[in-house]
Amino acid sequence: MNPIVAFDNRHLAIFETDIHGTIVRVNRIFEKITGYSASDMVGREPVFLSISETTDHILKDLDIDLHDGSGWHGHLICTTKSNEIFQVETTVVPLFNAANELTGLTWILRYLNDLIDIESQLIQAQRMEAVGALACGISHDFSNVLSIVSGFTSLALRSTEDDYTRRCLFNIMEASDRATDLVKQVLSFTNEESRSYVPISLRLMLKGLLKMIRSILPEAIDIQVEMGRDYFPVFGNPAQLHQVFINLTSNAAYAMRGKNGTLKIELDLADANEVPEAVSKQKQYDQFIKISIKDTGDGIEPEHLNRIFDPFFTTKERGKASGLGLSAVADILKKHSGSIYVESELGKGSVFIVILPYFRAELAKTDSPGRLPVQKQEKPIRVLFLDDEEILVEVISEGLRSYGFSVLSFTDSLEALVAFKQSPDEVDIVLTDLVMPKLTGIEFARQVMKIRPEIPVVLCTGFMKKEDREVAFSHGIKSVLMKPVLIEAIVKELSFQYWQAVSAGN
């Protein structure tokens, strides 16, 4: 085999040095990776090997025994002609002539930066998974605490007419509502919400997002928002779209790091000339929404503009990147029949423009459960309520009684099951927590419905995985309430499910 042909047709960067450490030749892959041409390097020492200034020092540092023919294998940190750092897996092979005299070295370099970027992405994904699991666990306990706070506050509001006291209680309730929104935002960010697509109001989503980003962005950054009065409905996955906008706003904040700046978010209908052709040619959509996220940072280098949506590309320092990455953002938006593009000017800042189809179907209002109002009945609805949080049992039981319900409450699932077995006809509806010692809420419901298949069961929990929700409904559970939840919402849901069961029985 012709050694020159083999040398130039490898998928590895290769160069050779003589016994003095001077480069004799380099291959094409070497030129591509380092940015140095053959004319730049032949006759010179390998200055791109940044661990040392001369080949003699490199050989000493690597402790290569050149005369036993064993060579060396390891990793080196190098620099390109434009001073970008990269890492290579390196094999150094001694070259000998027919008289077994050392004549030089062959250096074989395997470029590792792509592999390192992939590994970093996997590590980041694992970190996000761990954060998600932690957030879900914390949110369950935190939701119980918020349910207790809002529950007792609601009871207190109904028992006092003093104006000052009521103002204080309303402030507590408002703070509890804000904390509830934060819990929902965290769960959405961890992607533990349902993966299904639903109608979403971008206006309401971004308003909720602002509450989160105001608390995490530096005070030096001024946030400006312009939104029309439209709901700006889209059909999509709430968790994924939430992550898209978190990523874009955090990128904007990073672009303004260390100085005062302005983050401007605009939500409006898109003009025809603002919609990329690949999106506008989708015949099922006749109107589009434009979300602009603008910063006053340093802008993006022109040579980077065509690469910022490439996988693994980042202009952030190594170790500073977080979240999805713009490639993943673009992929999510493509799955939502949308797109993203960027406009930037050095020294003035950048604006990322997201385009999404306008969803024509009417958006369901989500401010309340939307159930039937509480109907008056001759006798109280009898509720078996089970939760392992004693204070929560107290406040919800008291709240239900204040609305005329008869409540049989338990903090132990086995005790509750024994009581139900003794008097199954004394219960009209079951309200149970999901995560409990001994029996889970789903298992408790299964045992109850073995005795009375027609009895309605409602779950009330601070966190529920998609698969748990599917299992719950497959076992006949009627609905799921997410903590923290107001007494009024529980009352509406229990009343609705009770009268549904009564109607079905007739």
Fold category of 382-505 in CATH: Rossmann fold (3.40.50)
Long-range contacts of 250-253 (CB under 8 A, 24+ apart): 250/213, 250/322, 250/323, 251/326, 251/352, 252/293, 252/294, 252/295, 252/297, 252/350, 252/352, 253/217, 253/218, 253/221, 253/295
Per-residue pLDDT at 472? 86
pLDDT tens digits, 144-193: 777 788 778 878 887 788 888 888 888 787 777 767 766 666 665 555 44
Per-residue pLDDT at 385? 96
- 197-362 matches 13-114 in CATH topology: no
Neighbour tally for 385: CB within 10 Å = 25
Per-residue pLDDT at 371? 37
- Tell me if the domain spanning 13-114 has CATH number 3.30.450.20: yes
Per-residue pLDDT at 5? 40
Closest CA to 480 of 386, 488, 190, 470: 470
Per-residue pLDDT at 370? 33
Q: Where do the domains of the chain lie?
A: 13-114, 197-362, 382-505
Per-residue pLDDT at 408? 94
Per-residue pLDDT at 85? 74
Q: Which CATH class is domain 197-362?
A: alpha beta
Per-residue pLDDT at 231? 79
Q: Please state the pTM of the whole predicted model.
A: 0.44
Q: How long is the chain? A: 506
In this prediction, the residues of the chain whose per-residue pLDDT falls under 70 are: 1-6, 8-10, 50-70, 113-140, 178, 181-196, 278, 280-284, 311-324, 361-378, 505-506
